[in-house]
A and B are shown apart, each in its own frame.
Chain A
Amino acid sequence: MTDAQEPSNVIEEPFDLIRMSLDEKVYVKMKNGRELRGKLFAYDQHLNMVLGDVEETITTVEVDEDTYEELFKSTKRSIQMLFVRGDGVILVSPPTRPGY
């Protein structure tokens, strides 16, 4: 870990990628089929994060008993400001561009 106080634009390690996404919209994939899309305000080494204007999508798969076909259901909800505990996070990514 460098001691430099000024933010550098060089990407040396994965955390730098997240640092680049500060103040930007990010896509967070979490355990249990949850996804978050929101503005990244803060993060730490455990991937605890503070996200603003978050939209959470929970996706569940139900299997029809007779036809065995898979039904994907998703529920969404919006939260203004959310603290996320890092141990539930799988990945963090800039949202797909263009258009998001």
Chain B
Amino acid sequence: MGDFSKSITGHERASFERTLCCMLKDLEGHQTTVELRNEIQITGIIDHVDGHMNFSMSNVSYEKPRQQPLQFSHIKIHGKQIRFVHIPDQINMQKAIVKTTG
């Protein structure tokens, strides 16, 4: 998988700095659950978040409602498809927000 994290466009950097996306950056390396617009719940470790809220995750459990979860070693999620991101308890909210807005 090519390392696209180095080539960040100006538009994307602006997206990062002006929205709450930068707070999602703080979640990198943590395990969490992402809920998509189509009710699918994806639980795994967040590898990378970009300015468009695209996620790449590893060690993923992909669960459709009322179905057996599938396991994937790696998955890429399109930002527009996301409805919720569960924030793990370990994240100190105050610190994350101050870091991003302050």
Binding site of A, secondary structure by majority: helix, strand, loop or mixed? strand
Contact residues in B for A88 (Cβ distance below 8 Å): 37, 83
Residue-wise interface mask of B (1-43) relative to A, using a CB-CB cutoff of 8 A (1 in contact, 0 not)? 0000000000000000011110110000000000001000000
Binding site for A on B (CB under 8 A): 18-21, 23-24, 37, 53, 79-80, 82-89, 91, 93, 97, 101
Interface size class of chain A, counting residues whose CB lies under 8 Å from the partner chain: 10 to 19
- Which of B20, B83, B93 has a CB less than 8 Å from the CB of A44? B20
- A83 and B85: CB pair below 8 A? yes
Total A-B contacts with CB atoms under 8 angstroms apart = 57
- B18 and A82: CB pair below 8 A? no
- A81 and B83: CB pair below 8 A? no
Q: A41-B97, A50-B93, A52-B93 are in contact. Are A79 and B19 (CB under 8 A)?
A: no
